[in-house]
Amino acid sequence: MENFLLDLSQDIGQLLTTGDGHDLIIQAGEGQNMKEFFAHSLILSARSTYFKTALSKEWAKKENGIIIFKKPNISPEIIELILKYFYTGLVNFDKQNGAQMLKLLMASDELNLHKLSDFIQTYLIDNQAEYLKNDPVGALQIVFRYEGCEDLRKFCLDAICKNPKTLFESPKFTSLEKDLIILFLKNNELEMEEIEIWEFVLKWALERMSTQHNVDDLSQWTSSNFEELEKILHDLIPHIRWFQIPAKVFWRK
C-alpha cells in the first residue's frame, strides 16, 4: 500500500495558503495587531471539538454567507501555527522561543487540542528547560492556570524544588500569586533553609503593602502598617516551619 499522506498534507495546506472556497474568517488578536485568516469551517470542525461546537449552526453567526469568528485573546502568530497544524498535521517549533511556546500551549489547551498540548509540553521539557528555569514565574503562572499541563507542571515543580533560588530570586517573584507560594511552602522537597524561605516570603509581602516600609527600622512603622502586613501574611504564616528556625537566627535576621 502506497502512502500519500505527505501529498495530502501539502494539497490541503494549499487551501490555507490560497483561501480558496473559504466560508470562515478568523479575526485573531485585537486593535492594530488584529489579523484575518481565511479558513474552512468543515476542516476546523473535523480537527477540533472546540470549533465543531463554536462553528455549529447554533453558535456561528454569518455575514454575507461567511462566518466571522473573533479570537482577540490569541495572537495572529499563534493562530497561524494552529491553523497550519489543522490543515497539514505538521508543526515546526524550531523558530519559536520559550515564551511563544507557552502561548501556544495556552491556546492549545483552550481549543481542546490535547495531542498538540501534550506534544508541546514534551518539547518544552526536552528543548526549552533553560527558558523555564530563567522565567519560572511566567511558566508557573501558565502551567497552573490550565488543567491539561500536568507533565509541565510536575517538571517545573521538581526543578524549582531542587533549585528554589531560581524562583525566589527572580525579579518577578513578588508578582507570584499567593496560592502558588503556599504550594511551595507546603512542599517538603524544597531544598532551602527555612529562614531563607521566610525572608523571601516577607519580601513578597512587603512589596504588596500599600506603601513601602523598611523592615530593618520598625520604629517608623505604625500599628496600621503592622495590621496590613499581618493580613497579607495571614495565610502564609501557618506554612512556615518555625521549629526549623533557631530563635537566635530569627531575631538576628
Query: Which tens digit of pLDDT belongs to each residue from 29-70?
Result: 999 999 999 999 999 999 999 999 999 887 878 888 899 999
Q: Amino acid identity, residue 203? A: K
93 and 108 in contact (C-beta within 8 Å)? no
CA distance 190 to 198: 13
| Choice among 37-41, 79-83, 217-221 with the minimum mean pLDDT | 217-221
How high is the mean pLDDT of the chain? 90
Q: Domain limits of the chain?
A: 1-82
CATH superfamily of 1-82: Potassium Channel Kv1.1; Chain A (3.30.710.10)
- Residue whose C-alpha is closest to residue 132's, from 97, 108, 107, 174: 97
Contact 90, 84 (CB under 8 A): yes
Q: Can you give the pTM of this predicted structure?
A: 0.81
Residues 85-138: pLDDT tens digits?
A: 999 999 888 888 888 999 999 999 999 999 999 999 999 999 888 888 888 998
CA distance 209 to 228: 7
